[in-house]
């Protein structure tokens, strides 16, 4: 299996906008979440891509990332970016790319 790059992940994520309603949620309103249009389940960006690519419904982000071929570093970077844990560095840049891909 080939490794999924950040660019491939963002391209796949941008395809999920018809299947999920993307918004900000969480305790402080910073976390990026997707609510499936069929069933209303809540997903983070990695598990949403996993489900959208018909890899199954996996709610454990690390397992979903591994199945997609994402490196551990990329999984953690996407998790940090989606959670909005930092306003500096790679997490902030990736967060901007995720927001652009999702149109939010």
Render pLDDT for 78-90 as a digit per residue (tens, 0 to 9).
999 999 888 788 8
Per residue in 51-75, pLDDT (tens digit) is 888 777 667 888 899 989 999 999 9
**CA separation for the pair 37, 46 (Å, rounded):** 17
Instruction: Output the pTM of the full model.
Output: 0.88
CB 12 within 8 A of CB 53: yes
Q: Which residues contact 81 (CB under 8 A, 6 or more apart)?
A: 32, 90, 91, 92, 94, 95, 98
Domain residue limits, the chain: 6-99
């Amino acid at each position: 299996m080939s490794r999924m790059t950040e660019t491939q992940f963002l391209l796949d994520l941008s395809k999920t906008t018809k299947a999920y309603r993307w918004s900000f949620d969480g305790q402080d309103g910073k976390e990026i979440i997707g609510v499936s249009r069929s069933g209303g389940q809540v997903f983070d960006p990695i598990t949403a891509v996993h489900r959208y690519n018909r890899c199954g419904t996996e709610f454990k982000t690390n397992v979903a990332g591994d199945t997609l071929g994402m490196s551990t570093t990329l999984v953690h970077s996407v998790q940090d970016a989606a959670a909005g844990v930092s306003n500096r560095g790679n997490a902030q840049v990736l967060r901007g790319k995720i927001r652009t891909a999702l149109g939010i």
